[in-house]
Amino acid sequence: MNLSEETIIKELRTIFDPEIPVNIYEIGLIYKIEIINEDSVRILMTLTSPNCPVADSLIQEVDEKIRGMEGVKKLSVELTFEPPWSEDMLSEEAKLELGLL
């Protein structure tokens, strides 16, 4: 299987923020997916708030799911709060799911 941004996004869509019943990709927590070479990936992500009570477990779940993908040998999951997350980052699908449309 070739590693691609699409296959990584598909996997990220299986991870849900326990406080919001929508996957972390549609919430807008993933800022950047970078495939550095054929087996190395860097993910830049954020949390809905710096005080997120599930921060450690959410980052660990991203790490485990992506590292477990066929073809991923090296993974870096980096956390940032710049720019800070806001509801504007929700996808249309997430807004619909949350009743914001």
Is the four-CA dihedral 95, 11, 86, 57 of positive or negative sign?
Answer: positive
Report pLDDT for 85: 93
For the chain, how many structural domains are there in total? Answer: 1
pLDDT by residue (tens digit) across 9-63? 999 999 998 878 899 999 999 999 999 988 899 999 999 888 888 888 999 999 9
Model pTM score:
0.91
CATH number of the domain that residue 48 is part of: 3.30.300.130
Report pLDDT for 56: 87
Its domain, for residue 31, covers 5-97
pLDDT by residue (tens digit) across 72-93? 999 999 999 999 999 999 999 9
66 within 8 A of 8, measured Cβ to Cβ: yes
Report pLDDT for 1: 57
Separation between Cα atoms, residue 3 and residue 72, nearest integer Å: 8
Report pLDDT for 60: 95
Q: Say if residue 2's pLDDT is above 80.
A: no
Q: What's the mean pLDDT in 91-100?
A: 90
